[in-house]
Structure 1
Amino acid sequence: MIVIATLVAAAGRTDRLRTALEAMIEPSLAEPGCLGYQLYADPNRPEQMALIEEWTDEEALRLHFGTDHFKQVSEVLGEVLAVPLQLRRLTERIA
């Protein structure tokens, strides 16, 4: 399963958002069921970022949402996002 989280930092909060999301990479990759966890920024609009995650299944993702590092970043997101994050789950691979 692929998860795409799209995030937009509020004015003056881009660095804080980037730091919080970068801190998620290593502990997330260490979780059982995490196959990939990458952060990208839009080169033309650095306040816009996307996390591209790959999980073995829905249960692994559910457990991820309960980790301490996820809870910590969730608190930061409430302070730094311009708009609520968008989360897409892609479960069907084509070709």
Structure 2
Amino acid sequence: MPNTLIIVAGFLAKPGQEQRLRDELDAMIAPSLAEDGCLGYQPFADPRRADRMVIVEEWADESALAHHFSLPHFTHVARVLEEILAEPFTLRRLTDAPVRVPHGG
């Protein structure tokens, strides 16, 4: 069975846009979780920096993620993020690391 794809997206809001960032990312949860291939979608806030947030997502595969990027709720939030972010968001794609079994053990 192929590994799932984990996405970690990081966001830095412009001053005064912190609550709008939270609201926009929260609005993405339900429609994203309703998508075929979405196994998890959860925003997290930095408790020390109100302007920083992260979303951790889990997708069945690359095609599910590509489909997500084409849907209206994603294209809407992408436009809003261009207005409210202090810098472009970061996107990391991760998969399970292979487990190494020590020799002789």
TM-score by length of 1: 0.96
Match of 2:74 in 1: 70
Which amino acid in 2 is paired with 1:23?
A
**CA distance in structure 2 between the aligned counterparts of 1:42 and 1:81, rounded to whole angstroms:** 15
Of 80, 87, 90, which aligns to 1:86?
90
Instruction: Give yes or no for the alignment of 1:41 onto 2:45.
Output: yes
Of 19, 23, 27, which aligns to 1:19?
23
**CA distance in structure 2 between the aligned counterparts of 1:93 and 1:61, rounded to whole angstroms:** 20
**CA distance in structure 1 between the aligned counterparts of 2:96 and 2:34, rounded to whole angstroms:** 25
Shift of 1:91: 1.9
**CA distance in structure 2 between the aligned counterparts of 1:17 and 1:94, rounded to whole angstroms:** 35
**CA distance in structure 2 between the aligned counterparts of 1:41 and 1:92, rounded to whole angstroms:** 24
Q: What is the RMSD computed on CA atoms of the aligned residues?
A: 0.9
**Aligned residue pairs, count:** 95
Shift of 1:25: 0.3
Structure 2 unmatched ranges of 5 or more: 100-105
Structure 1 unmatched ranges of 5 or more: none
TM-score by length of 2: 0.88
